[in-house]
Structure 1
């Protein structure tokens, strides 16, 4: 779909494109780009945007059940932020879709049909107030690690959006950590509630970063995004950063990592851990998670109920 610059072959245009990326320059929406670059961006940014929107739903469930007015206001603000992030990212995606004649409407229909995936963690149930804290502290913590890895992404509109998103996600992680800290200072029952919550979320947190290269076959999405300098670290490198940052913090609260094998190998300079069930991961992101269909139904109902607003704005 990208139109070649006059007088240049596709090979010459690609060489010029790569030279621009390697020089640290940003690619803008109207610039020429190879089709696999555009496709990789559309998949990545649309999934990120939809995940922000779907990720607000587990926490939305706890707005009316928050234990105090202060906590209620905090989680309401967080939900509002996440929805805003999603809308901003879908707008970035729309620019990339223009050559194909597609719009945000097509993205939403792809979501409802199951063609557009969202992060595995947002298919899971939130069973207690500790879950609201865990999502903010560790899930958003994992998201920050992933997103800061792309702050210097070669695609300018995405990199600029991420700067705002990451700055707000820091507050979200602090919000979650504050909930967890308050619970750890509470009753025996509250401390047990955090441990039970961590036990349930641990595999989902590991899956958040996606499988390592050796667990994929052929050319993977992460290979393409690294080739074009959209990101700089692999899934496994990001997971290792997460371990290094959060395992000491988890242990310092008197919590136990639900993996008896996990330890830091001094010789290899990496964390050794029990792999999650990657077949389960594939099923979850296909829409077969504990809360997948319930949340998709909620999103679908909301989208259809508020269609009149979109119609009015389009006139």
Structure 2
């Protein structure tokens, strides 16, 4: 960053001109807090999202599926670890973030507060939620914070493989027995409301003004949701699946999708840890932290002094 950037006005001008901010650069405290909040939410969502599919590794129907879902879970945890490293350069330690997550003080996407009930859930999650993630992440490829900007292409590239993996699961099930097709429909019916509010509530421009000005947000929530609906509603319908929203339709006059407005207050409560599987998932996280504490302590302990044999 240019050495003379020391005021918020100069900082914004630098960003708007295409400048990239590094961890060691001067930045307004509000910008630093916003970057930490944004990346922490992303990291925790990657991490907690892996829990939805982790238990299906042993229950996958074939060895090939087991290998594929194991690789996906590893990818998601890897994304979280990369993002936690980015946070550490901003003064937010990984240990602190994970403590807050286990205690229920940290936030992650409301989508990941729900339980999985069938193998079809793994297909819906990988295909549709990862597709929604890519839409959000691609909007940030030109974000102003350099370390985040550099890790996003790798995350998007791997998420694209997850989408193919999930779509292939759903296609295989839809070409199978009536029971398998019904399993897909049941899973879609349960997951459609969380998918609809995946990108968050519509926000007025003034609420996102600072994030847009700082290039920490690339697009409005509703724009991303409209893109998701435009791509995936026709594909789901072409498969013969029914979307569980009687109001869902494309309005040719406004060129926008109409849908049943979610109860955004309920969504906020879910995101605060009051979802159907929130506490169960956090308990899994707490138990894992406790059972594996010895590993972290061993790695952090000082090496034993060398013993001279002379």
User: Same fold judged by TM-score > 0.5?
Assistant: yes
How far, CA to CA, are the matches of 2:296 and 2:206 in structure 1? 39
In 2, the alpha carbon distance for the partners of 1:174 and 1:223 equals 35
Cα deviation, residue 271, structure 1:
0.8
Give every structure 1 segment of 4 or more consecutive aligned residues whose post-TM-superposition deviation is greater than 4 Å.
Answer: none
Alignment of 1:209-228 (within 5 A): 209-214=199-204, 220=207, 222-228=208-214
Deviation at 1:219, TM superposition (A): 6.0
Query: How far off its partner does 1:18 sit?
Result: 1.2
Indicate the structure with greater helix content.
Answer: 1
Please list the CA deviations of residues 149-177 of structure 1 after superposition, one character each: whole Å capped at 9, or x if unmatched.
10111101001111110000000011000
Q: For 1:48 and 1:224, how far apart are their aligned partners in 2?
A: 19
Deviation at 1:34, TM superposition (A): 0.9
2:121 counterpart residue number: 131
Which of 118, 131, 144 is the matching residue for 1:154?
144
2:178 counterpart of 1:192: no
Unaligned runs of 5+ in 2: 303-310
Q: Deviations over 1:185-211 (max 9, x none)?
A: 011111111111111111100111000
In structure 1, the residue matched to 2:305 is none
Q: Which of the numbers 62, 85, 89 marks the counterpart of 1:68?
A: 62
Q: Aligned-pair distance for 1:15?
A: 2.0
**Could you say which residue in structure 1 is the equivalent of 2:272?**
286
Query: TM (normalized to structure 1)?
Result: 0.91
Corresponding residue for residue 307 of structure 2 = none
1:304 Cα deviation (Å)? 2.0
Matches within 5 A, 1:210-249: 210-214=200-204, 220=207, 222-249=208-235
Within-5 A mapping of 1:1-315? 13-97=7-91, 102-214=92-204, 220=207, 222-314=208-300, 315=302
Deviation by residue 1:207-259 (Cα, 9 ceiling, x = unmatched): 11000015xxx964x44321211222100000001001111111110111111
Which secondary structure does the structure 2 equivalent of 1:96 belong to?
coil
Structure 1: distance between partners of 2:61 and 2:222: 37
Cα deviation for residue 298 of structure 1 reads 0.9
- TM-score norm. by structure 2 comes to 0.93
Question: Does the Cα contact within 8 Å between 2:47 and 2:76 map onto a contact in 1?
Answer: yes
Alpha-carbon RMSD? 1.7
The number of aligned residues is 300
CA contact (8 A) 1:40 1:224 kept: no
The answer as to whether partners of 2:12 and 2:213 remain within 8 angstroms in 1 is no
Cα offsets for 1:34-80 (capped at 9, x unmatched) = 11111111111011111111110110011111000000000000000
